[in-house]
C-alpha cells in the first residue's frame, strides 16, 4: 500500500460526521461514529445502530428512521393521510391509520374500521358486553384497562383528599376535567333527543336511543327472526340458541351468558354486598334481593294468589 493510501485509511478510521437538524426551536444532533465499541446492536435484526438522537439517546439503523423519530420531540406532523385531513408525526403512525381506510381491521357487527387488531378487539367488547377489568374497590367493570385506571383515580383522590371535578348538575365526580366536560353533554342540548328531550354524552348513544321512538330494530336473529335495536342485544340473544356461556366462574363450575350475571354471581364468593337499604342497616349482594327487602318497609305485596 502506498503512503498516500495508508494515510487516507488512518484518517477515515478516526473520522466522525456530525449533522445538525433544525425544526422550529428544537435541534437534533445526529452522530455517525466509527468507533465499533460505541455501537449498540438491535437484539432482533443485529444491524448496527449508528444514528444517535441526542435528546433521548436512542439509536437507529438509518438516518430516515432517526428523522421519523425526531418529529416526536419536535411535535411536528409531517405525514398527511391522502384519504382524510389527519396528520401524523411518524410514517409508522400514518401506516397504522391507513388500515382504517383499507378496512383491514373491520368489525363484522357494525362495519366500523380500526387501525390495528388491538383497537378492534377492544371495540368488539361493545357488542359482546364483555368488561374484563374490575375495580377492586367498588366492583365496577370496564372494557379497557385505561378506563379502569381513570376510574380508580377517583377512589385514590378521595382517599388522599385531592381535588375532584364535580358536576354542578348532579352528584357525579370525575378525576379529570376532560371527563367532566364529556359528561356535561348529558346536561346540555348538544346530543339531545328531539322526541323526548333526553340528552346523551355522545352521538352513538343518541342514535341508539332514537330507535326507541322509531321502533327501528336493524339487527335480526338468523334462527328465530327476532329483531333488536343494537348488535350487542342480538349477540346476547343468540346464546339462547347456541347454548354458549362464555363467562365462567373461576371459583366454581358455573358459567353465564352475560358478563353482568357473572359479576353478580362472584359476590357470593367474595361476600361483597354493594346494595344497601336506605331504611335500615341491611345490605345485599344482588339488586333483586334489595328490591324484595324494600317491600318489608313499604308493605307492598305485588303477588296475588
SS3 state at 302: coil
Predicted local distance difference test score (pLDDT) of residue 299: 85
β-partners of residue 283 are 276
Residue range 235-272, pLDDT digits in tens: 888 888 998 888 888 888 888 887 777 877 887 888 87
Predicted local distance difference test score (pLDDT) of residue 121: 85
> Residue 226: pLDDT band by 50, 70, 90 thresholds?
very high
Predicted local distance difference test score (pLDDT) of residue 213: 92
Average pLDDT over residues 2-17: 40
Is the pLDDT at 9 greater than 90? The verdict is no
Is the pLDDT at 44 greater than 90? The verdict is no
Query: CATH code for 219-298?
Result: 3.30.160.60
Average pLDDT over residues 193-215: 85
Q: Which candidate, 65, 115, 71, 113, places its Cα nearest to that of 89? A: 71
Q: Do 42 and 50 touch, CB atoms closer than 8 A? A: no
Average pLDDT over residues 266-279: 80
Residue range 10-33, pLDDT digits in tens: 333 443 333 333 333 434 443 434
- SS3 for 178-244, per residue? HHHHHHHHHCCCCCECCCCCCECCCHHHHHHHHHHHHCCCCEECCCCCCEECCHHHHHHHHHHHHCC
Residue range 54-72, pLDDT digits in tens: 777 788 888 877 877 776 7
> Residue 76: pLDDT band by 50, 70, 90 thresholds?
low
Burial class (CB in 10 A: 0-12, 13-18, 19+), 251: exposed
- Residues of CATH 3.30.160.60 domain(s) within the chain? 219-298
Separation between Cα atoms, residue 275 and residue 273, nearest integer Å: 6
Predicted local distance difference test score (pLDDT) of residue 46: 56
> Residue 223: pLDDT band by 50, 70, 90 thresholds?
very high
Residue range 126-181, pLDDT digits in tens: 777 778 888 877 777 888 888 888 788 777 776 676 767 888 888 777 777 777 88
Pairing of strands 105-106, 51-52: unpaired
Q: Return the DSSP state at 127.
A: H
Separation between Cα atoms, residue 295 and residue 291, nearest integer Å: 7
Amino acid at each position: 500500500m502506498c503512503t498516500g493510501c495508508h494515510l487516507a485509511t488512518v484518517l477515515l478510521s478516526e473520522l466522525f460526521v456530525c449533522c445538525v437538524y433544525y425544526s422550529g426551536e428544537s435541534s437534533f444532533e445526529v452522530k455517525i461514529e466509527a468507533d465499533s465499541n460505541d455501537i449498540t446492536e438491535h437484539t432482533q435484526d443485529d444491524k448496527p445502530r449508528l444514528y444517535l438522537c441526542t435528546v433521548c439517546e436512542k439509536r437507529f439503523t438509518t438516518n430516515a428512521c432517526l428523522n421519523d423519530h425526531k418529529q416526536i420531540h419536535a411535535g411536528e406532523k409531517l405525514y398527511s393521510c391522502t384519504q382524510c385531513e389527519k396528520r401524523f408525526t411518524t410514517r409508522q403512525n400514518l401506516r397504522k391509520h391507513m388500515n382504517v381506510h383499507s378496512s383491514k381491521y373491520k368489525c363484522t357487527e357494525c362495519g366500523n374500521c380500526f387501525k390495528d387488531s388491538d383497537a378492534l378487539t377492544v371495540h368488539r367488547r361493545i357488542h359482546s358486553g364483555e368488561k374484563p377489568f374490575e375495580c377492586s374497590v367498588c366492583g365496577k367493570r370496564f372494557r379497557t384497562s385505561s378506563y379502569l385506571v381513570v376510574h380508580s383515580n377517583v377512589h385514590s383522590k378521595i382517599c388522599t383528599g385531592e381535588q375532584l371535578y364535580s358536576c354542578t348538575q348532579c352528584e357525579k365526580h370525575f378525576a379529570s376535567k376532560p371527563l367532566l366536560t364529556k359528561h356535561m353533554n348529558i346536561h346540555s342540548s348538544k346530543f339531545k333527543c328531539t322526541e323526548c328531550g333526553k340528552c346523551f354524552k355522545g352521538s352513538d348513544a343518541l342514535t341508539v336511543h332514537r330507535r326507541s321512538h322509531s321502533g327501528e330494530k336493524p339487527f335480526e336473529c338468523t334462527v328465530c327472526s327476532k329483531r333488536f335495536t343494537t348488535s350487542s342485544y342480538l349477540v346476547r340473544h343468540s346464546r339462547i340458541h347456541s347454548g354458549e356461556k362464555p363467562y365462567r366462574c373461576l371459583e366454581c363450575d358455573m358459567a353465564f351468558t352475560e358478563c353482568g350475571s357473572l359479576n353478580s354471581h362472584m359476590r357470593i364468593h367474595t361476600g361483597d354486598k354493594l346494595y344497601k337499604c336506605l331504611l335500615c342497616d341491611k345490605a345485599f349482594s344482588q339488586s333483586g334481593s334489595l328490591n324484595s327487602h324494600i317491600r318489608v318497609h313499604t308493605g307492598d305485596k305485588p303477588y296475588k294468589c
